[in-house]
Structure formats: structure tokens, C-alpha cells
Chain A
Amino acid sequence: MTTRIVLTVAALTLQEAARRRVLRSLAVMTVILLSLSAWGFARLDAEFGTLTSGEARLAASTVLNLVMFGLSLIAALGTAFLAGPTMAGEIESGTALAVLARPIRRSAVLLGKWLGLVVFASGFVAVAGLAQLVIVRVTMDYWPPAPVTGLVLLAAQSTVLLTLGLLLSTVISPMASGIVAVGLFGATWIAGVVGGVGHALGNEGVERVGAVSRVLLPTDGLWRGAMHAIQHPALGAGLPQGFDGHPFLSDSPLTIAYVAWSCLWLGLILALAAIAFHRRDL
């Protein structure tokens, strides 16, 4: 019964994403980013003809991380601005009234929305990410060591952000929830960079900023894990001198504990969203 409702709402959410303009704008942004990166990688190969093939791959790997960050930003923006309107917008417009007066639990509707958004975000990351990897393979002859792990972690990062967006959208207005979610995402990323600088300088206090923010909102931590899976293994063994604290390189893979925490975090936020939504007067 509840499973049927969850799946129905998930399918509806996917249908909404497919039929609304957000998908088209997402597709346009992605195509622009992919073509720019294809052109850039092709130039990189042509301009730096003097590099050894190993050096070229290292360069490709670093730039790939940068481009992947752009991709994850698109996924984050896209899903956060999809998650906000889908709950708060429906409550504001009145669409939710007729739906929630049906013999269904609000938590089932919320879970359905979440599932639909996760499928959408993961689908986007899989298609666009894979396209990007193929572009780098063709232009620079570089293939990441763990592409699947990288893409899964990128999808997980989007999932974390859209879950946060969903929680926010049960309590504040649609636009505000999207903006706050993206703002927090940016803040965590910057905190991660600051933490990296602190690590490079050996300043524990500053380093802790990154660590704490990564626990509070796991987007940056998952992103670093994704980078590690995508970048050249030579970089993974330990960053070369002068690369300490580089925002687009990661020096260590994710720990099991961190992945477990991310899952727990998702469950907690989803449960909070369900409680907030259940208590809300429509």
C-alpha cells in the first residue's frame, strides 16, 4: 500500500522533472560545460605537446577534477532548485491539498518525492559524468582508476544536498529553500578549502573548520572522495610538494566510517523532514 504510494509519487516527480523547464535548462548547461571541456582538453593536448604522456595524464586528471566540480555544481543547483519547489511550491500553490486529502501518509509522499529526485539526480550524474569521462578518454587518453565509485559518490553528494533542500522546503518557501541549500553547499566547500589550507600550513584550528563542516553537511567530504576516485593514482599516493591544500585534488580516499556517517545523516535529515511535514498545517 505505502510502497505503491511511494512509487507513484516518485514516478510523478520524475514526470514533473521531465516536463518542466528545469530539465531543459539543466541539459543546456550540461551540454555547454561538456563542449567547453571537450574543446579545452583538445587544446590542452595540442598546446602541451612537449609533456610526457605521464605528465599529460596528470594534468588531465587535475583538470578533470575541476570540470567534475562544475558538473557537481550543476547537479547540486539543479536538484536543490527542483527539491524546493516540489514540496514547498505544491504546499503554497494548493496542489498538495487535493493530493494529501487522499488516503495516504504524508511520509509516503515525502519519501516518494525524495526517491524520484534521487533517481533524477543520479541519472543526471551518470549520463553527464560518463560523457565527461569519455571526452577525457578520447582527447587525453586518460581513464580514472575508479570511475564507478567516483560517479556514485558524486550522485551521493547530490542526494545529500537534495535531502537538505527537501527538509528546508517543508518549513520555508520554495525559493528560499533552494537558495539556503545551495548557500550551505558553497559554504561547506569553502570551509573544506580553508581546512585544506590549514592542513598545508599545519594549523590544526583552521584544519578543524574543514573537518567539522564535512561532518555537518557531508557534501564536501563526498566530493573529496569522488575526486580521489577520479584523479590519477599517482596523486592519490600523496600529493606532490606544493600541492598541499589544493582544492581540486584529494590526498586520501573516503573512510568507511565517513560513508556510514553520510548514510546516517541522510536518514536523520529525511526523518526530520518527515516529522516537520507531518506536523505542518496546510
Chain B
Amino acid sequence: MTPRAEAAGRLLAELPPAPAAWCSGLRKRYRRRLAVDDVSFAVGRGEVVGLLGPNGAGKTTVIKILLGLVRPDAGEVLLLGRPARDPRARARVGYLPELFRYQPWLTAAEVLRLHVRLAGVAVPDGERRECLAAVGLADRAGDRVGGFSKGMQQRLGLAVALVARPDLVVLDEPTSALDPIGRADVRDLLLSLRDRQVAVLLNSHLIGEVERVCDRVVILDKGRVAASGTLAELLGGREVRLRLSEVSAAAEARLAAAGRLIRTGDEFAVELPAGHDPAQGPDTVPDLVADLVALGVRVHAVEPGRISLEERLLDILRTGPGGDHR
């Protein structure tokens, strides 16, 4: 190797790794219906990103385009730094489809062996068994998939997505067929993936699930990105709700100084600035209450409020994106 090539190699090695998944300007039309329209987003290495949106927003189509299962009319996709046209881009990608079905005539262990072989990696027997155990199928390894319930097939699908040591896992509605215990298991699994620096793209209707495990959220509506950002960015700050009487103009000015104020009769809602956590800045709310009392206001109730992702999602879908969250 020439010194120049070596230097170039060193330079490349020092570059930050390419995102786990990156897409730009994706567009897909099914006959007259535009299913995906100019969708761009990225999933960083080790990042857990939630894909949210109403039915028919184009989430599954976007996922299928990323994985080369659907051909986009326009746009580019990179998986782990390789263009998705090249099948090798998917070498370290695991996928659980929304429509999960596995060869009914194979046993669970055989399905995993098949997928390991197709992925072109050598995963020892023990590791495959651990993978089945991680999704709660350890004692069903030798049973034919044809006899599995929907929930068990979805668990098997999770094992298939995880078995070939992926760097990126794409899960399309991973808990749609699972009972509450199964959902909790999936949440733990997602958290363990995040700990192991495995990137995850999660499409789920269960907003609570997304809120608990995702670093960032991309909201799709009618085939377009309606909003995207970290949870803190999307949800804005926390709220404090107060019920007050004898509020003077000075008191109202004091309230407005604390944050964006919404008044409905005796009810006052103050939106504290973004990133502000009452637990971290313990004095903001007590100070505000003390000042209000000093101004002669009678305080009946003080409640912490938090804008949930669900409220924010509905807000975005009903009124359109806030603009500043793009």
C-alpha cells in the first residue's frame, strides 16, 4: 500500500461512521395515490427512532423502501453507509415485518438457521438458542412454526430480526399480536438493544411504548414528514397548572414571565421553557407561587402537567406541523 493510500485509509477510518439508515427525497406512487412524498430522515448509529403516524400515513411503505422490498419512484437510501440497491447493504440489518409469517413446515430453530445462512454470518448453535430464549421461545425450538399462535410467530419474528447480529433493527409493529407481558418483554428487548448500541427503527401505534424507548421520533402524515425531532424538542417544556383567584395585572405579568401563559377562567397553565425539568430546577415553581402570594393572589391548586407525546401527535396531525420542529 502506498503512503498516500494509507493516509486515505486512516482518514476514512477516522470519519464518524455513516448513519445506520439514511433516506432522502423518497417518493412512491401506487396508481393514483401518492403513498410516500418527499420523505427524508436518518437513524444514527445506536439510536432508537420511532416512526409514528395514523393508518395509511406511509410508514410501512417507507420501511419497505428502506429494505429494498418496494422500489421508490424517487429518492435515495443508504443502509449502514451502503446504497440500498446493493443487497450487501442489508448484511447487518434485522427486520420484523408488519405481516410476519415464517415457513410453517420448519421448526423455530430451523427458521433461525435459515436466516443466519441467508445473512451470510456464522452464528453458533448456542447463540441461536439464546436468541430464541430472549423472546421466550426456548422450549418451542423444535416445534413446527405452523402450530404457533400469532403471538408466538411474532416472538419468532423478533428472534429472526435479532439473530444475525444486526447493527440496525427495523421493527414494524412489533407488539401488534402480543399480550401485555409480551409488550413489556419487547420494551426490555429494545432497551437492551439500545444499551448494546444497536440502532432501531420502530414503527408502532403504541405511543407510550415509543415515548419510553425512543431517542427521536419521526411523525408521518399523508406520506410526508409532519414533524421530527428528539422527544424534548417535540414535546416542548413541561407545564404547571394553577387555579388562582384575585389575580391582579401584576400577578398575571409575573405568570407570563415564567413561560407561555394560557388562561381559562380561574385556570392558568404556564408552559415552562423547553428542556426545563422541575426536578432539576427546584426553585422555579416555589418561587413563582411565593411571588404570587406576595402579590395578593390566592392559590387554590398547583399541579404539574406534562404534554404527552400522544397529545403532541394529535396536535400535529390535526393542526399541521408547528414549523419549528422540522
A interface, CB within 8 angstroms of B: 1, 4-5, 8, 12, 15-16, 19-20, 93-95, 97-105, 279, 281-282
Contacts and interface: CB of A to CB of B under 8 A. Distances in A.
A101 to B, nearest CB: 4
Nearest to A7: B117
B76 to A, nearest CB: 18
Interface string B74-115: 000000000000011111010111011111011000000011
Contact of A97 (B87, B97, B117): B97
26 contacts: A4-B117, A8-B118, A12-B103, A20-B105, A94-B97, A95-B101, A97-B95, A97-B97, A97-B99, A98-B95, A98-B96, A98-B101, A98-B102, A98-B160, A101-B67, A101-B69, A101-B93, A101-B95, A102-B118, A103-B87, A103-B89, A103-B90, A279-B71, A281-B69, A282-B69, A282-B70
B321 interface: no
A201 B310 CA distance: 81
A19 B106 CA distance: 9
Contacts of A5: 118
Contacts of B157: 98
B105 A19 contact: yes
Nearest to A18: B105
B266 to A, nearest CB: 55
A19 B285 CA distance: 69
Contacts of A282: 64, 69-70
Contact of A101 (B90, B99, B105, B106): B90
Contacts of B117: 4, 8
Q: Chain A binding site: helix, strand, loop or mixed by DSSP?
A: helix
B259 interface: no
Contacts of B99: 93-94, 97
B136 interface: no
Q: Give the residue among A95, A98, A102 with the most B Cβ atoms within 10 A.
A: A98
Nearest to B91: A103
Given A97-B97, A281-B71, A282-B70, A102 B102 contact: no
B188 to A, nearest CB: 23
A3 to B, nearest CB: 12
Nearest to B114: A12
Given A15-B105, A94-B97, A94-B100, A102 B70 contact: no
Nearest to B117: A8
Contacts of A105: 87
A68 to B, nearest CB: 31
B120 A1 contact: yes
A103 B120 contact: yes
Contacts of A279: 71
A4 B67 CA distance: 21
A99 B101 contact: no
A5 B70 CA distance: 21
Contact of A93 (B67, B71, B91, B101): B101
Given A97-B99, A102-B90, A103-B90, A16 B67 contact: no
B46 interface: no
Given A97-B95, A98-B96, 9 more contacts: A8-B117, A16-B105, A97-B97, A97-B100, A98-B95, A98-B115, A99-B118, A103-B87, A281-B70
A157 B270 CA distance: 80
A202 B266 CA distance: 105
B68 interface: yes
B119 interface: yes
B41 to A, nearest CB: 19
B71 to A, nearest CB: 6
A279 to B, nearest CB: 7
Contacts of A97: 64, 69, 95, 97, 99-101
Nearest to B115: A102
Contacts of B67: 101
Contacts of A98: 95-97, 100-102, 115, 157, 160
Contacts of B101: 93-95, 97-98
A279 B70 CA distance: 9
Given A97-B69, A282-B64, A103 B105 contact: no
Nearest to B105: A19
